[in-house]
Structure 1
Amino acid sequence: MNKFLFSVIVLSFWSSIVSSQDINLIQRELDRSPILKNHFFSFSLYDIEQNRFLLGLNEDKHYTPASNTKIFTLFAVLKHIGDSIPAIHYIEKGDSLLFWGTGDPTFLHPKLGAGIVYNFLSATDKKLFYVGEVRTEEPFYRKGWAMEDYDAYYQPEITPFPIYGNVVTFKSTGNRLTVFPQRFQFAVEKQAFAESNRFRIRRKFDENIFLISSARIPDNYLVHKPFKYSDELFVQLLQDTLQKQVELIQYPKPTKVDTLFSVATKDILREMMLISDNFLAEQLMMTAAMNKYGEFNTDRLRKDMEATYYAYFTDKIDLYDGSGLSPYNKVTARSVVELLLMIAQSVPEENKLRYLFAAGGKEGTLKTTYRLDGGLPFVWAKTGTIKSVHCQSGYIYTRGGRTLAFSFLNNNFLGSAAPVRKEVARIMTFVRENY
């Protein structure tokens, strides 16, 4: 036999044995974990270079993914929105400019507002007419969302034309409370709360009245409260900002409209993924649906994504929102890994792919979860945490020079997610060291 061929066969044989031993070590670590014994978990590991699954434990069982749902939103946006986010649709008719919302969440957003739409509307000498919401099946909350969280910062209403992130910002300035947008400073009322020594703000359920306690305002106080959205309120806020007249009208949308674009898609996706922003996720699904169909129909978009892409998964999945707030969402670890492979194919450049995920030990929701190795991260992933759920899925670069896709889903544990989060990081670090 040719010596070279013989050497290749021997090396391949030993490589297979070593790889098998490495996987056995990882499985043993999972089996012996005292933390994982107390709840249901699912784990799937895939070698991208070898194009094969390495290990799967309960990988075919369905779990609530929490914010790992945003990985599906990321993929939908990559497929249905171009390099920049469509900000508004508009037409010019004589001395008038009529414009429609596209779902773009960045308009006057405290972190993402590039000022493009503001500058455009501010600079025009035409009369401004905002065309109010066309009849739509889109609710302001998704199925399964907790109504009691209506004034929680992480659950703003989903709307056709967001403004200021659809939240009111309250912060302390000296011993005073400042309110922005300023229009809401007239919607603040004092109220006694049960915890009289703790400063609190709460919005009334179905109206824009914000109740504040009489306790001392803490130093460096900062909180965001969702407001109750309406077309009328949007126009009022827009007029306050532009310092010019804007009229609310109903007008049939022509087939041909002009589009003004705002921020780079990759940048808003990165923001959504790194800090796990629910508002951005839901609004981007709205924008993707508008871009694809010319109407807000995220249910249709989810069904089309399933028929076009997710039908090729080994396991069926069920999604009801874009953020992961809904406990109705159900996926398998294996399906999430298969999604990660599709994303890697869509974004083949490694640095661009890693840009879209939080780097462990460096940024976002994984900043304090992992330790850097020689000053460098080795995990790029998305976390997901709601009550009794903690998930982590993404890519890991091992000491053996392999890039692996993984999904680690944990459901139905009691108490804090902190021990589970720590255990996931410990095991993934073990994977890094031993494969």
Structure 2
Amino acid sequence: MLRPLHAYFLTSCCCLLLISCASSQPKTIVQSPQAANRWRDPVANSPVFRQSHTGFALYDIEKQETVAEYQSDRYFTPASNTKLFTLYAGLSLLGDSLPALRYTTKGDSLIFWGTGDPNLLHPDMPSSRVFDLLKNWNGHLFYYPHNYIGKRLGPGWSWGDYADYYQAEITPLPLYGNVVRFTNSNVSPRIFKDSLRAAGWSDEFKLSRDEFRNAFFSTGWPTKSFTEDVPFLTSARLTAQLLADTLKKEVRIFPKVPLGHTFSTLYGLPADTLYRRMLHVSDNMFAEQVMLMCATQLDTDNAGTEIRQSIDYVKKQLLTDLPDEPIWEDGSGLSRYNLFTPRSIVALLQKIYAKVPDQQRLFGLMAIGGKAGTLKNQYKSKEPFVFAKTGSLSNVYCLSGYLKTKKGKILIFSIMNNNYIVKTAEIRRETERILTEVYEKY
């Protein structure tokens, strides 16, 4: 009798164990993944994203937790999402007002050099205090161009885009946005008014420039009013000529000698004025110059600056706690060398949110769905709910920022798409569909 009783006891124990496991299993293995997948699946299972490289991260600020992830640890080309890193650098290293010019005096001579501030004579920005200082100086003016030791274009930029408006050159003292603005009846700066030539007929009107000189040419003929910007080839000599022409006084170049750390700084426009334009219209030139201004702030001895210095400083001193090391090469995102992960961008946006706790100010800097910037024609709603930065290159579309749900919850998101072959408009629409669902149902 002992053997049957023993067998019966063992069988009963096994049944109880199986029943116990079955009753607890849905809570830990089935239900929890289902809850997590609620916001991941629209991205992971999207037929539009099927052949692209896609990553997604969604973070709840109130809960302080990530509520959805899909390939968020993978690296992506971020395009202009890079400007979020540039914004954080500016918020961390620049004050409320932009350092616009450094200068020193010797007798009746004013020796001045640029900080990277891009606002002087810029056609789309308010007047700069720098112009008033130079215009009202009664003595000699000397421009010192030797404080910039970087190159005119960023690493990984497309060499063929040198004449496109979005790839203006990097300089320590930009003038006129480092572009020539052509309209039907005007050329600015006027020093280039005789530099435009017709280069033949084409059905499409287009302006361009010789790669290695400031000779501009047009093909076709404009059929309507137009405004088009073409970057000019920069040089220290041209900077002095442009200033002299505008100020109506001589501007000479100062020789390359050590300037030391005794100088004055002239502060200009509010920093938010620059950040807002940089993020709203995705101004590449402004982004690069912000990083150069950050490098100048670090260069207290005027030893020489380049953008790489500020990138390295911010990475090593301010961003060591990101989930994944950012591969960060320029300020604008024009470089194909940049690589970030969605979860690192979300972590960066948490840092920005902590640094700018005023939601009205922070969200006003971003492109605003249905209202302003590169998102003006998307996410249309009575009350804006997406405040973000777009990022576009060929076969790249990324969107990262803040989302305010119908229930008033603030979420941080990053959705990144690379290597797709469908039209970008399809990727953009699918991204909008997914984020709108989060807005309505989270």
Do the structures match in fold with TM over 0.5?
yes
Query: Number of residue pairs matched?
Result: 410
Specify the alignment match of 2:195 in structure 1: 187
Specify the alignment match of 1:4 in structure 2: none
Alignment of 1:64-143 (within 5 A): 64-134=77-147, 136=149, 138-143=150-155
Distance of 2:280 and 2:34 partners within structure 1: 34
1:409 to 387, 406, 416: 416
2:69 to 34, 38, 56: 56
Structure 2 CA distance for partners of 1:19 and 1:70, relative to 1, 3 Å = farther
2:237 to 223, 232, 237: 232
> Which segments of 5 or more consecutive residues in structure 2 lack a partner in the other structure?
1-29
Q: Does 2:346 align with 1:337?
A: yes
Query: Retained in 1: the 8 A contact 2:128–2:269?
Result: no
Distance of 2:214 and 2:276 partners within structure 1: 31
Q: Specify the SS of the correspondent of 1:41.
A: strand
2:55 to 42, 55, 62: 42
CA RMSD of aligned residues (A): 1.8
The one-letter amino acid paired with 2:200 is A
Specify the alignment match of 2:405 in structure 1: 398
Deviation at 1:244, TM superposition (A): 1.0
Q: Does 2:316 align with 1:303?
A: no
Q: Specify the SS of the correspondent of 1:311.
A: coil
Q: Does 2:254 align with 1:249?
A: yes
Specify the alignment match of 1:424 in structure 2: 431
Which stretch of the first structure deviates more once superposed, 228-237 or 353-362?
A: 353-362
Specify the alignment match of 1:363 in structure 2: 372
Specify the alignment match of 1:29 in structure 2: 42
Which stretch of the first structure deviates more once superposed, 301-310 or 54-63?
A: 301-310
Deviation at 1:135, TM superposition (A): 6.0
Distance of 1:207 and 1:159 partners within structure 2: 17
Specify the alignment match of 1:13 in structure 2: none
Deviation at 1:19, TM superposition (A): 10
Deviation at 1:18, TM superposition (A): 11
Query: Retained in 1: the 8 A contact 2:276–2:365?
Result: yes
Query: Retained in 2: the 8 A contact 1:60–1:334?
Result: yes
Deviation at 1:149, TM superposition (A): 0.3
Specify the alignment match of 1:11 in structure 2: none
Structure 2 CA distance for partners of 1:20 and 1:381, relative to 1, 3 Å = farther
Q: After TM superposition, which residue ranges in structure 1, 4 or more long, deviate above 2 angstroms?
A: 17-32, 132-135, 197-200, 215-218
Q: Specify the SS of the correspondent of 2:165.
A: coil
Specify the alignment match of 1:206 in structure 2: 212
The one-letter amino acid paired with 2:163 is D
Specify the alignment match of 1:378 in structure 2: 385
Which stretch of the first structure deviates more once superposed, 277-286 or 112-121?
A: 112-121
The one-letter amino acid paired with 1:32 is N
* Percent of pairs with identical residues: 39
- Could you give the per-residue CA deviations for residues 265-306 of structure 1, whole angstroms, max 9, x where no partner exists? 011001100100000000110011001224413212212211
Specify the alignment match of 2:166 in structure 1: 154
- Could you give the per-residue CA deviations for residues 76-112 of structure 1, whole angstroms, max 9, x where no partner exists? 0001110111111011221111101111001101111
Query: Retained in 1: the 8 A contact 2:113–2:147?
Result: no
Distance of 2:165 and 2:81 partners within structure 1: 19
- Could you give the per-residue CA deviations for residues 193-236 of structure 1, whole angstroms, max 9, x where no partner exists? 5x2x33322200000001223x4332212110000000111111
Query: Retained in 1: the 8 A contact 2:148–2:306?
Result: no
Distance of 2:46 and 2:189 partners within structure 1: 50
Deviation at 1:262, TM superposition (A): 1.2
The one-letter amino acid paired with 1:182 is R
Deviation at 1:114, TM superposition (A): 2.0
Query: Retained in 2: the 8 A contact 1:369–1:421?
Result: no
The one-letter amino acid paired with 1:156 is A
Larger Rg: 2
Which stretch of the first structure deviates more once superposed, 68-77 or 84-93?
A: 84-93
